C-alpha cells in the first residue's frame, strides 16, 4: 500500500481494496458527523500505526482502530 497516497477506488490495488472498503463502511457509519477526508486520514494513519504479522487480519484491525478514533472524535467513545 502506498501509505502517502490517497485511498481511492480508482487507484486501489488488491492489497488496498479492503482499506478502501473500510473507508466506505466508516463513511456510511459516520456520515453527517465526520468529513470523508478525516475518515480517509484516520484510516490511513491507523494503517500506518499497526504492525501486524497477519495480512488477513490487518483490514479488520485498521477498521476497528479507525472506528474507535472516529467515535472519540464525535464524542461517543
Which of 28, 25, 23 has the alpha carbon at shortest distance from 39? 23
Q: Does the residue 64 lie in any domain? A: yes
Report how many helices (DSSP H) and strands (DSSP E) the chain contains, helices first.
3, 0
Q: Does the residue 25 lie in any domain? A: yes
Q: Does the residue 3 lie in any domain? A: no
Q: What is the mean pLDDT of residues 25-30?
A: 97
The domain in which residue 37 lies consists of 17-73
Q: Does the residue 67 lie in any domain? A: yes
Global pTM value: 0.60
Query: What's the pLDDT at 13?
Result: 64
pLDDT exceeds cutoff 50 at 10: no
pLDDT exceeds cutoff 60 at 25: yes
Q: Does the residue 21 lie in any domain? A: yes
Q: Tell me how far the alpha carbon of residue 42 is from its chain's centroid.
A: 6
The residues, any chain, with a CB within 8 Å of residue 77's CB and separated by 6 or more, are 68, 71
Query: What's the pLDDT at 5?
Result: 53
Q: What is the pLDDT of residues 34-72, one digit of tens each?
A: 999 999 999 998 888 776 557 788 888 889 999 999 999
Amino acid at each position: 500500500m502506498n501509505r502517502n497516497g490517497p485511498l481511492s477506488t480508482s487507484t486501489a490495488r488488491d492489497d488496498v481494496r479492503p482499506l478502501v472498503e473500510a473507508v466506505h463502511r466508516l463513511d456510511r457509519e459516520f456520515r453527517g458527523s465526520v468529513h470523508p477526508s478525516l475518515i480517509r486520514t484516520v484510516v490511513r494513519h491507523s494503517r500506518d500505526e499497526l504492525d501486524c504479522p497477519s495480512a488477513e487480519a490487518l483490514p479488520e484491525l485498521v477498521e476497528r482502530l479507525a472506528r474507535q478514533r472516529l467515535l472519540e472524535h464525535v464524542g461517543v467513545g
